[in-house]
Structure formats: structure tokens, C-alpha cells
């Protein structure tokens, strides 16, 4: 097989530099510090400065001071900052997509889609800035009013991952700013350039609308920066996206100081394919969900639970689709599968494939590395399908790569039991034309995930819904619906306008 043809690292560096300049970032190249690299060739691009202990302290203090001002700025005025940010994101959609492709290896359409998600959540948060509704509750006492008021919470520490390096920041930041919070952001070490661009656009938006600059601070650095946010009592909410291993450390540490955390951790998402499923639609939905972003979404489809009667023909169709997948340069418009983030990710996929074979699995297609002659440090791989007789240990783990396990079922109850029998609970779907099956899957005795879909894959959620999952996925909800409440504190107000003191629960006193 011919090797993959790639742009040179110099071209990619120039492309990143041009995008950064258009956004307004003075291109850093300090020689030492955090090394921005590109998975497209596996090479380094620039070194950017990192935040030490002093810079971290200064950023937290500045964000805290800004909060004291921002919390009393009327919410619709706060929305103006988010509206301006959304305009700048629209204006620079191509530049941001370039940086996402250079640093995370996303194909063009998915990189543009990620920026679209940011624009969408800004629109959502602008609307939210006029809808931070509390309730009025019927009081049990005459002449009393009982109400719930939502107040800004404080400084939000956002810790984000490489795979959605900009959108996850925007879900948190757009909503937090509308809610009256300020933000300190610790992005993935793998994606500093897109982080610099987002931070710059928000600073420009703040200048344009006259908001304090310190409503947002970016901290580039390694895990010690994240640990400082986790342990600092001035960080009211830590919103962390990443592995379950990371969440297992963050959650208890934040709880130990009675802080709040919002965790969006690993997924091990499955789709049930019932005999009545539309095969064409199912194949397209499955391939995008399993292979999109080279299997590196937290919502990626990792397990397929197929009715025994249709398993062979479905796997044949999937195999044919997998064999035609264009793998390579994510800037090439015909590519559907870009690189894995690192050779370590490739090693992880290979180790999982070996374990799957040891646990009785049969490799159906893919799994081979695609050589990229000019770039030995890049990790291009053929997405793989493995048939498994049962849900063995390796299937119950999240491997962050395009690796799809296929299992079969006979009854829907059995399929749902298999579906739910993993530690994670992010996203799920069922392909069926039988309404009873679909409704059962969505019901309380169906999927146990935070996201449950019908006739669409597990990934690619819209921002309007709340995003997150159960069990080891961490329980947090971000983005749409009423996820904003995690970024605010509720106060219950009892107002007595009767002129008499009446105690609740009929208590008499004095
Ligand atoms: C993630 O992978 O961390 O639903 C987020 C999706 C995207 C977000 C994924 N809207 O696949």
C-alpha cells in the first residue's frame, strides 16, 4: 500500500502562524516551554510560554477580583460580551478550524463543525442571559412569598481535553460568563495554539464591549496548573473534561474542600441495531459515530450490539465501508480519517486489539498502521472492527481510538442489559423502526446513559441539549438545556409581607 502524502511541517507551521496572526495572537516562540506540535506529521511547531506558580496565583486572583464586578453586571449586559465573542468566532471560523486541524488532526468538516458548535453555544448563552429564571413557589403561610433566585457562583476553573480543544471551552465559558462567573482555563497541553486563539478572541470581545479583561484567564501548562485550580478554594466550580482516571483524582480533591465539580469523563458508547433497522441509514450512522474524529470523541461509538439475524450482513456492509475510508492528511477535503493524536494513542489501540484477540475476539477489518514515509512520528491507522463473543474486560474499557467491538443479541432485554453493563454511561443509540423498541430503549428501564438516541449515532450532539453522562462518566451536564444551573447558586427567599410573624410547620414560639 502506498504511503500517505502529507504537507510539510514547515507548511503547517506557516498555516498555524497565519491563522494566529489573523486572530490577533502574537506568535509565541520562546524556544523553551510547552511544545505545540501537530499530529499531522508528529512534529513540533512552536514552543509557547507556560504558567508557573506565580502566574497561576495572579490569574486566579485577577479572575476573582473581576468576578466581584461581573456578578453585579446585569445578565443581559453580560450577554453582550458573549454575543460579541460569537461574532468574532463566526468571523474567524476558518482560522480556528485551521488551528484545530493542525493541533488536533481533525478533518476540515469536523474542525469547522467544532467552531460552529462554539458559535451555536454563544447564541444559546446570549438567549440565556435573559432567561436565568427562578421560580415563585406557593408559600404555606398567608402574606408570604417564597421564591428562588439564581446568583453567579464565582470563578470557574475549566480543564479541557485535546479532542474538542475549543468547543468544550466555549460550552463552559459562554454559559459561565452569561451566568455572571469568571473563568480560568487550563487547556490540554496538546492544544496550546487554539487555546491562545480563543483567549485572544475573548479579550478582543471584552475590549469591544467594555467588559473587564480578567473575566477570562488562560493558563498554559502541565498538570500542576490543573492541580492548583483543583485545590484552590477561590475556584468555586471545577469543570473538567477528560479521562475517568483524571476525574477520579479531581472529584474527591474538589469535594474535600467543599468545592463543586462538573465532570465529563470517559464514555464507552454503544448502539443497538434491531432487525427492523434501516440498513443504509444504520451503516452511515454507525460509520460516522465509530470513525469520525478518528474515534477520538468521548461520544465515539465503541460497541455495536446487533441482533443475531442481521449481524453477518451488517458487518459485511460495515466492512465494505471501512475498506473505502480515505485515511490521511486532514486538510485534504476527501479525507475522512485523520491522524491519531500521538503514537502513544496508536500503541493503546494495538494493545487493545491484542487483548481483544486474547479474549476471543476476531479482527474483521482494519487495525493496520498506514505508513506516512515523510513523517515517522505521525500515527495514521485503519479503523478496526472486532467481533466479540461476549463483553469481555477490554470491551468494558474506553480505548480512545477507532476500534469498534461487535456483539450479538437475541432479545431486546438482553441487548439493553449488555448495553448497560459497562462502567461508563455517556451516549447510546438504537437503530430500529419499531416504536415499542425505541421507546423502551429511551425509558427508565432502557439505556442508562446521559444521551440516548434513536436512528442516529452516539456522537455529534447538538448544543441545545445538556451534554454529559452517568456512572464513571461523572454525572456532569454542560452546554444547553438547564445545564447553566451548575454555574450558579440558588437562594431560596421567604418574604413576609403580612405584618405578622407566622412560623412554618405551625410552630408556636414567643
Ligand atoms: C467530546 O468528545 O468531548 O457530541 C465532546 C459530540 C460533540 C461533542 C463531543 N458535540 O460528539
The pair phi, psi for residue 128, each rounded to 5°, is -60, -35
Q: What is the pLDDT of residues 362-419, one digit of tens each?
A: 999 999 999 998 899 999 999 999 999 999 999 999 999 999 999 999 999 999 999 9
Residue 298 Cα: closest atom of ligand 1: 2
Q: Which residue(s) pair with 261 in the sheet?
A: 238
Q: What is the ipTM of this complex?
A: 0.98
Residue 451 Cα: closest atom of ligand 1: 4
pTM of whole model > 0.90? yes
* Predicted pLDDT of residue 1: 47
450 C-beta neighbours (distance < 10 Å), count: 24
Q: Are residues 68 and 48 in contact, defined by beta-carbon separation less than 8 angstroms? A: no
Q: Cell numbers 440565556 correspond to what residue?
A: 128
∠ at Cα 20 (85, 161), nearest 5°? 70
CA–centroid distance, residue 468 to ligand 1 (Å) = 9
* Predicted pLDDT of residue 185: 98
Residue 296 Cα: closest atom of ligand 1: 2
Residue 462 Cα: closest atom of ligand 1: 10
CA–centroid distance, residue 461 to ligand 1 (Å) = 7
* Predicted pLDDT of residue 303: 98
Split the chain (510 residues) into runs of 10 and give each run's mean pLDDT: 84 96 86 90 93 94 98 98 98 98 98 98 98 97 98 98 98 98 98 98 98 97 95 98 95 98 97 98 98 98 98 98 98 98 98 98 98 93 98 98 98 98 98 98 98 98 98 97 98 98 94
Three-state SS annotation for 51-65: CCHHHHHHHHHHHHH
* Predicted pLDDT of residue 150: 98
* Predicted pLDDT of residue 286: 98
Let me know if 140 is a catalytic residue.
no
Q: Which residue(s) pair with 492 in the sheet?
A: 148
Q: What domains appear along the chain, each with residue ranges and CATH number? A: 9-265+474-491 (3.40.605.10), 269-468 (3.40.309.10)
Pairwise CA distance, residues 481 & 389, whole Å: 39
Task: Using most ligand atoms within 8 A of CB, pick from 110, 116, 246, 298 the residue to mutate for ligand 1.
Answer: 298
Task: Using most ligand atoms within 8 A of CB, pick from 459, 462, 477, 480 the residue to mutate for ligand 1.
Answer: 459
* Predicted pLDDT of residue 31: 74
Of 184, 205, 179, 13, residue with least CA distance to 90:
205
111 C-beta neighbours (distance < 10 Å), count: 28
Question: Which residue's CA lies nearest to atom 6 of ligand 1?
Answer: 460
Q: Which residues line ligand 1 (CB under 6 A)?
A: 117, 163-164, 168, 241, 297-299, 459-461
Q: Are residues 198 and 166 in contact, defined by beta-carbon separation less than 8 angstroms? A: yes
C-alpha cell at 309: 439475524
The H-or-E segment that residue 47 falls in is strand 44-48
Q: Cell numbers 446585569 correspond to what residue?
A: 74
Of 266, 337, 264, 303, residue with least CA distance to 457:
303
- Cβ-Cβ contacts under 8 Å for 406 (sequence gap 6 or more): 304, 306, 311, 315, 364, 385, 386, 387, 388
C-alpha cell at 416: 439493553
* Predicted pLDDT of residue 2: 57
* Predicted pLDDT of residue 360: 98
Amino acid at each position: 500500500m502506498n504511503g500517505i502524502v502529507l504537507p510539510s511541517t514547515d507548511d503547517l507551521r506557516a498555516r498555524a502562524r497565519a491563522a494566529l496572526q489573523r486572530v490577533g495572537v502574537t506568535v509565541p516562540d520562546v524556544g523553551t516551554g510547552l511544545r505545540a506540535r501537530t499530529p499531522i506529521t508528529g512534529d513540533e511547531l512552536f514552543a509557547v510560554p507556560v504558567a508557573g506558580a506565580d502566574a497561576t496565583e495572579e490569574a486566579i486572583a485577577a479572575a476573582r477580583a473581576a468576578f466581584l464586578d461581573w456578578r453585579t453586571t446585569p445578565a443581559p449586559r453580560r450577554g453582550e460580551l458573549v454575543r460579541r465573542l460569537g461574532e468574532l468566532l463566526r468571523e474567524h471560523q476558518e482560522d480556528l478550524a485551521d488551528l484545530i486541524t493542525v493541533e488536533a488532526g481533525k478533518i476540515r468538516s469536523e474542525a469547522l463543525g467544532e467552531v460552529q458548535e462554539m458559535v451555536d453555544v454563544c447564541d444559546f448563552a446570549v438567549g440565556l442571559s435573559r432567561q436565568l429564571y427562578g421560580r415563585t413557589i406557593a408559600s404555606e403561610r398567608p402574606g408570604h412569598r417564597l421564591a428562588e433566585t439564581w446568583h453567579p457562583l464565582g470563578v470557574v476553573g475549566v480543564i479541557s481535553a485535546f479532542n474538542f480543544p475549543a468547543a468544550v471551552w466555549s460550552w463552559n465559558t459562554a454559559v459561565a460568563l452569561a451566568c455572571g462567573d469568571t473563568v480560568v482555563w487550563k487547556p490540554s497541553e496538546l492544544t496550546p495554539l487554539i487555546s491562545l486563539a480563543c483567549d485572544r478572541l475573548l479579550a478582543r470581545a471584552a475590549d469591544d464591549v467594555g467588559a473587564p479583561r480578567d473575566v477570562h484567564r488562560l493558563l498554559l501548562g502541565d498538570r500542576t496548573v490543573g492541580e492548583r485550580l483543583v485545590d484552590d478554594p477561590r475556584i468555586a466550580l471545577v469543570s473538567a473534561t477528560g479521562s475517568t482516571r483524571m476525574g477520579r483524582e479531581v472529584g474527591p480533591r474538589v469535594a474535600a474542600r467543599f468545592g463543586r465539580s462538573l465532570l465529563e469523563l470517559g464514555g464507552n458508547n454503544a448502539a443497538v441495531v434491531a432487525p427492523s433497522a434501516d440498513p443504509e441509514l444504520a451503516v452511515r450512522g454507525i460509520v460516522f459515530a465509530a470513525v469520525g474524529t478518528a474515534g477520538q470523541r468521548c461520544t465515539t461509538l465503541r460497541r455495536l450490539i446487533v441482533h443475531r439475524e442481521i449481524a453477518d450482513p451488517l458487518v459485511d456492509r460495515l466492512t465494505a465501508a471501512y475498506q473505502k475510508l480515505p485515511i490521511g492528511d486532514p486538510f485534504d477535503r476527501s479525507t475522512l480519517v485523520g491522524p491519531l493524536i500521538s503514537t502513544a494513542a496508536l500503541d493503546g489501540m494495538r494493545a487493545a486489539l491484542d487483548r481483544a484477540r486474547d479474549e476471543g475476539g476476531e479482527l474483521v477489518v482494519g487495525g493496520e498502521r498506514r505508513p506516512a514515509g515523510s513523517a515517522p512520528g505521525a500515527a495514521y491507522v485503519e479503523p478496526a472492527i472486532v467481533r466479540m463473543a461476549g463483553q469481555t474486560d477490554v470491551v468494558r474499557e474506553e480505548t480512545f481510538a477507532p476500534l469498534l467491538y461487535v456483539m450479538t443479541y437475541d432479545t431486546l432485554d438482553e441487548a439493553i442489559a449488555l448495553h448497560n453493563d459497562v462502567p461508563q454511561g455517556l451516549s447510546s443509540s438504537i437503530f430500529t423502526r419499531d416504536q415499542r423498541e425505541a421507546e423502551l430503549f429511551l425509558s427508565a428501564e432502557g439505556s442508562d446513559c446521559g444521551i440516548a438516541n434513536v436512528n442516529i449515532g452516539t456522537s455529534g450532539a447538538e448544543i441545545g441539549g445538556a451534554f454529559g453522562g452517568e456512572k464513571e462518566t461523572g454525572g456532569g451536564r454542560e452546554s444547553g438545556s438547564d445545564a447553566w444551573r451548575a454555574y450558579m447558586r440558588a437562594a431560596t427567599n421567604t418574604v413576609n409581607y403580612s405584618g405578622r410573624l407566622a412560623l412554618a410547620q405551625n410552630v408556636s414560639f414567643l
